[in-house]
Structure 1
């Protein structure tokens, strides 16, 4: 059995939904400009009433996009990608009044009637929360999605700062538990620094001892890769045989490196145009069935914003998209929830312990 709850669609025979009008549209006045009063999407399942009781589920709904009505159905698209003349769905009401219904309870399990208390302690996850069950659920989800889904990792450089976590992530890639990797310049740079010098920002990745003049190491690595012209060419010509990026190249796992203002170098494959980087990341976010964002707050928020909360599978079934945030701070989980990614699940621990624990339980 799949490790996720069944999807319960809305009851469109309800009197309020049965009486709902068809959704209205207006043409975009020019490229990238929307008609006033457009409907902005969420990452919940959203339905558009086409008339006659026909409600169409928008595939891949995600936050801050819009719905464009086409002959073959409804397309979800970012505002900057809307073209002049396209029919944009209008309306701000979400309960059917404008022919739009946002369904927020499709994956909710049956209410737990074991306690009728209105007050209780420890009602939300914190650093005091035991995460044993969260880990067990994640193991089941990853085993399922390795062969039946798309597992997207969003990584910060801390994963490469420790020998064991770096080896664990590379092993997970090699074992098929990664279908795309989204990161920044730093993750790739410090993964290669570890391969070249056994350091991360100048510290030995096992002993954490500072290496003399180690602060040059990541700059020397970037320079070497630039000299060879690409990550793949540098790997081959410099004989790099281990690491996260190496494992991705060997498995042909897509790697998207999005640039930032503070990047050193950056490496040749880093996408420095923010619009292009967003487009490249969004390709994999839209395909994801499980996302694990590890030790990277800004990238986690970005990917959370572009990831749907559900997927319509090839057989027509609807399943949830799981979004795990792994960090030592509660801030990032709260931030994601405040930005609309209510489905984000937090595991509060350090990146190194998480990676090693995950690999020990999934290997073999």
Structure 2
């Protein structure tokens, strides 16, 4: 005996491939579908509509299909309120809890659709009511290690609707959803101009630009350009690892990055020890800010962050030497700090760092404009594969990209 439910799709479902993905998901999971209504938008800005009955051999199979359809923006017709179950213990979610996407999401509670706050992928959804206002309902994402006993967690697929960003007909900017992709042949100058325009718009609207930095910025000669962008107010927050900060400060103290003179490419005597000497000097001063205040550090990206009150998060790893006193060595604490940065960002520049790009990407909603630049196309590809489909990718040398971006942004200020 088969079981079935009716689902609906609405929007630019043809151009974005949403309808085809939903059809494929039903068949791949062993179900069947019957299109009951289909209305095609008749001009490039018009939306389309599809209603279909989805059937499967069992309730379990149907739930799996509905879950996949939900992730792609389909909603169950005649929706009911979401199912809520209390968490049985701290850091434990109920069986069949709803695992989030990074797309805008709403949850139906008491007959009303409530927008989910702080959208993030791979989280649970927790419903709460304000203690001082009994009628106010909030739905927030929460990572599993932050779940507390008795939290009301959304389970199943009922009463949830997801709104993936869509691509309408016609050409848009490079920031149009799913229009970026990865290409080493993309005309970089025109794309850099678009990125610069977006950064200007964010700055003019008092938005937030987050830059995610890898040590290659220093090695490849992009450090000064990035420092200029921080000083001129185009960067509002910085996320990096211990390595980036060490090499940036090493360049200031010793003129080297990982022991190599970044201008002559020579290896000074004892240059291989410069990074550990740098950590020692900053530790002796009491941290990066203290070193800047004492005049020990007087140039570079970290210097400009301190001098211009640009907040930064340095997340540690098992590979770190030292690390610097400013580096967060507790991984959960570092995740929370990165998550706070990501939730405030309107535009994110991910520059030559695979691990940090993926970490920050995991915390971003799909509506946050994202640029990923790396000489290795696998870095951008892995970011997209992890779900950050809103990212546009440039496969190029970071030492070429950053000076071009700085020139484009600062040319009118010279």
Number of matched pairs = 328
What is the Cα deviation at residue 110 of structure 1? 2.4
Which residue does 2:117 correspond to in 1?
Answer: 59
Equivalent of 1:337, from 380, 384, 390? 384
Matches within 5 A, 1:93-104: 93=157, 98-104=158-164
1:168 maps onto 2:237 in alignment: no
Matches within 5 A, 1:1-364: 19-52=78-111, 54-71=112-129, 72-91=137-156, 93=157, 98-105=158-165, 108-112=166-170, 125-148=182-205, 149-163=207-221, 165-310=222-367, 321-363=368-410, 364=413
State the distance in 1 between where 2:278 and 2:188 align.
Answer: 38
Name the SS for the 2:343 alignment partner. helix
Contact 2:193/2:408 (8 A) holds in 1: no
What is the Cα deviation at residue 51 of structure 1? 4.2
Root-mean-square deviation (CA), in Å? Answer: 2.2
TM-score (norm 1): 0.85
State the distance in 1 between where 2:142 and 2:373 align.
Answer: 29
What is the Cα deviation at residue 50 of structure 1? 2.0
Contact 1:34/1:88 (8 A) holds in 2: yes
State the distance in 2 between where 1:345 and 1:123 align.
Answer: 4
Task: Identify, as 1 or 2, the structure richer in strand.
Answer: 2
Q: Structure 1 124/268 Cα, relative in aligned 2: closer, same or farther at 3 Å?
A: closer
Q: Structure 1 137/123 Cα, relative in aligned 2: closer, same or farther at 3 Å?
A: closer
Larger Cα Rg: Structure 1 or Structure 2?
A: 2
Q: Structure 1 61/189 Cα, relative in aligned 2: closer, same or farther at 3 Å?
A: same
Name the SS for the 1:58 alignment partner. strand
| Greater Cα offset, 342-351 or 14-23 | 14-23
What is the Cα deviation at residue 191 of structure 1? 0.8
Name the SS for the 2:191 alignment partner. helix
Gaps of 5+ in 1: 1-7, 114-121, 311-320
Q: 1:88-135: per-residue Cα shift (whole Å, max 9, x none)?
A: 0111x4xxxx11111113xx342139xxxxxxxx99532223234422
Hey, which bits of structure 1, 4+ residues long, moved more than 4 A?
Answer: 14-18
Which residue does 1:118 correspond to in 2?
Answer: none
What is the Cα deviation at residue 17 of structure 1? 5.3
What is the Cα deviation at residue 269 of structure 1? 0.7
State the distance in 1 between where 2:181 and 2:409 align.
Answer: 27
What is the Cα deviation at residue 162 of structure 1? 4.4
Q: Structure 1 11/130 Cα, relative in aligned 2: closer, same or farther at 3 Å?
A: closer
State the distance in 2 between where 1:359 and 1:301 align.
Answer: 25
State the distance in 2 between where 1:195 and 1:109 align.
Answer: 45
What is the Cα deviation at residue 255 of structure 1? 1.0
Contact 2:104/2:119 (8 A) holds in 1: yes
What is the Cα deviation at residue 137 of structure 1? 2.0
Q: Structure 1 123/279 Cα, relative in aligned 2: closer, same or farther at 3 Å?
A: closer
What is the Cα deviation at residue 177 of structure 1? 1.1
State the distance in 2 between where 1:229 and 1:61 align.
Answer: 37
Name the SS for the 1:352 alignment partner. helix
Contact 2:182/2:381 (8 A) holds in 1: no
TM-score (norm 2): 0.75
